[in-house]
């Protein structure tokens, strides 16, 4: 039977690349990649965990198995929920980015906005908005696109469970589910963390958009005033001299 899990659920290349980095680069790498940790709960050897759950009562064994299944399902649902929300966020960001890119030419057009300073301000705001959207999309894509090594709850040990008594088989199955839940919990924590980061960048993008609207409103107000300013003139009256 397998012993304690000594590696994180990340792919081998991620673990090896992180291990080669010096301290300060590793901190930057951890911020960008958000590596998964080695599971800390239910991370005993399978035999040890099964022994901790052992009982002679069939009702207790069935209840323990049901609870272990519920814990495993809860971690799986957390991962699925994060992936669904990340997929929705990806679509929202893609639509917003496409609209902004289409509108850049309007605010950069010299014939429509003659003042170079205003054009620079508009384009800078839009560029910052798109950059924040890209960061949000990048984090959201990591939620659904990043691969992890899950712990499978013992499909290869089904023949071993078949040779045990009912109580022992249920106890072993419960231990396998708890080990798998421990790994899935770490994966879920990474996915939820990445989703929160994507949401944070989206809030930054919305803040920039609000500032852009203020700049557009200020430009429209000042431009309207300059066009509607009355022009004063001097009227000369010519008197006829007899």
**Which run of H or E residues covers position 92?**
helix 58-107
Helices 12-20 and 23-33, axial angle in degrees (round to 10): 150
pLDDT over threshold 90, residue 206: yes
User: Which tokens belong to 134?
Assistant: 């890209």
Q: Where are the alpha helices (DSSP H) in the chain?
A: 12-20, 23-33, 46-52, 58-107, 116-145, 158-162, 166-228
- For residues 239 and 242, give the distance between their C-alpha atoms in angstroms, rounded to a whole number: 9
User: Which tokens belong to 72?
Assistant: 């495993």
- Residue 94: which residues within 8 A CB-CB, separation 6 or more? 137
Average pLDDT over residues 164-175: 91
Least confident of 109-118, 174-183, 194-203: 109-118
Cβ contact 202:89 at 8 Å: yes
Residue 220: pLDDT band (50, 70, 90) is confident
Q: What is the pLDDT of residue 203?
A: 94
Residue 215: pLDDT band (50, 70, 90) is confident
pLDDT (tens digit, 9 = 90+) per residue, 67-93?
999 999 999 999 999 999 999 999 989
Q: What is the pLDDT of residue 109?
A: 67
pLDDT over threshold 60, residue 97: yes
């Amino acid at each position: 039977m397998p012993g304690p899990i000594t590696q994180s659920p990340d792919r081998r290349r991620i673990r090896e690349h992180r291990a080669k980095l010096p301290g300060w680069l590793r901190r930057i790498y951890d911020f960008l990649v958000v590596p998964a940790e080695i599971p800390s709960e239910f991370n005993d050897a399978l035999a040890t965990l099964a022994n901790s759950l052992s009982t002679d009562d069939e009702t207790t064994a069935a209840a323990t198995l049901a609870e272990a299944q519920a814990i495993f399902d809860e971690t799986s649902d957390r991962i699925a929920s994060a992936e669904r929300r990340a997929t929705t966020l990806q679509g929202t960001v893609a639509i917003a980015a496409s609209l902004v890119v289409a509108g850049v030419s309007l605010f950069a057009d010299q014939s429509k906005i003659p003042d170079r300073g205003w054009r620079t301000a508009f384009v800078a705001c839009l560029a910052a908005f798109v950059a924040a959207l890209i960061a949000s999309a990048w984090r959201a894509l990591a939620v659904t696109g990043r691969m992890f090594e899950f712990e499978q709850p013992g499909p290869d040990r089904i023949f071993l469970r078949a040779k045990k008594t009912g109580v022992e088989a249920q106890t072993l199955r419960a231990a396998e589910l708890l080990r798998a839940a421990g790994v899935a919990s770490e994966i879920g924590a990474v996915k939820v963390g990445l989703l929160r980061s994507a949401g944070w960048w989206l809030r930054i993008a919305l803040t920039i958009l609000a500032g852009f609207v203020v700049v557009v409103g200020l430009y429209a107000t000042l431009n309207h005033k300059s066009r509607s300013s009355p022009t004063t003139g001097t009227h000369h009256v010519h008197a006829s001299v007899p």
